[in-house]
Amino acid sequence: MATRSARSVVLRPMSTADVEAATELSREQAWPHREDDWQLFLTAGEGLVAEQDGRVIGTVMAWRYGHDFASLGMVIVANKAQGQGIGRRLMEAMLGRLDGRSVLLNATEQGLPLYAKLGFVAIGTIHQHHADVPAMPLAELLPGERVRPAGHADDWLGQLYSRASGTDRQALLRLLSSDSKTVALTRDDVPVGFAQVRRFGRGRLVGPVVAPDPHGARTLILHWLAAHSGKFCRLDVTGASGLSGWLEELGMPLVGTVTTMVRGVRPQPDPAAQVHAIPAQALG
């Protein structure tokens, strides 16, 4: 019966008309994504859905970064349809579309075995923190350091993000910026970092956060957390940033950890610029 059921599943490209059904699938997994979040993901990238008897029972999405890299996420199969190999079919179909690119993803514990079988290897971790933001201390600025609003003249943001991630993030940042507020970090009037905040899930998400060092990242994060005191905020920080323990001390508890994996060549970021927090686990 399971085999016959699996054969009746059709994979097809995701469209805007699928956003409502995809949102319901993510809610079934207790993921916080709103329809607006799914729509942003679809505008930025592409997706496939698994459909059975006219009903969407699975999803996968991907985002292309330049000519060499992509990230993959939003791999969901409805609870009643699990165990039929649908998740693997979706993954293999999307990987076929991305052939020739190195592919990144952030894996939940449940997804790790499948991704390992498909050739992904672990290269890091992402720590998710969220809470209603408590009162925040003032950031201790270095001499000559300043946090200021970013404007239209700050065309260096996408280039810095790309250098820090080792992948071409300029198109993604332009899209995120249309729905975000952004501040820049400068030292002696030289731009060295930035951070965004936008509506996401249950409240607001702070990310991406790009800075030359943990001090700069903490300064940028404190700016946005202080601006949203009492409101629900989320951060997804890299394990390499060393910021997870600091966030817990601030009253932003750790609520989950995922494993960053790659299939293909690992990105080579610029050591002078680091991604300390990401804009979404799916986007990487």
CA angle, 205 as apex, 199 and 206 as ends, to 5°? 125
- Once rounded to an integer, what is the mean pLDDT over residues 200-208? 98
Show the DSSP H helices in the chain as ranges.
2-7, 19-28, 35-44, 86-97, 112-117, 157-165, 170-177, 214-227, 244-250
CATH code for the part of the protein at 2-100: 3.40.630.30
- Once rounded to an integer, what is the mean pLDDT over residues 155-170? 97
**Collapsing DSSP states into helix, strand and coil, what is residue 2?**
helix
Residue 7 pLDDT: 66
pLDDT by residue (tens digit) across 241-258?
999 999 999 999 999 999
pLDDT at residue 5 tops 80: no
Domain boundaries of the chain, sorted by first residue: 2-100, 128-277
> Could you give the CA distance from residue 221 to residue 159 in angstroms, rounded to a whole number?
20
Read off the amino acid at residue 283. Answer: L
Residue 183 pLDDT: 98
pLDDT by residue (tens digit) across 22-77?
999 999 999 999 999 999 999 999 999 999 999 999 999 999 999 999 999 999 99
Are 2-100 and 128-277 equal in CATH topology? yes
CATH code for the part of the protein at 128-277: 3.40.630.90
Percent of the chain with pLDDT over 90: 96
- Once rounded to an integer, what is the mean pLDDT over residues 266-282? 97
Cβ neighbours, 10 Å, residue 153: 6
Percent of the chain with pLDDT over 70: 98
Phi-psi region of 54 (alpha: psi -120 to 50; beta: other; left: phi over 0): left
Residue 152 pLDDT: 86
Measured between alpha carbons, how far is residue 242 from residues 134, 197, 214 in Å? 21, 20, 8
Tokens 């319901």 -> residue: 24
- Once rounded to an integer, what is the mean pLDDT over residues 267-277? 96
- Please state whether the predicted TM-score (pTM) of the whole model is above 0.85: yes
> Could you give the CA distance from residue 157 to residue 186 in angstroms, rounded to a whole number?
12
Measured between alpha carbons, how far is residue 160 from residues 106, 164, 176 in Å? 22, 6, 15
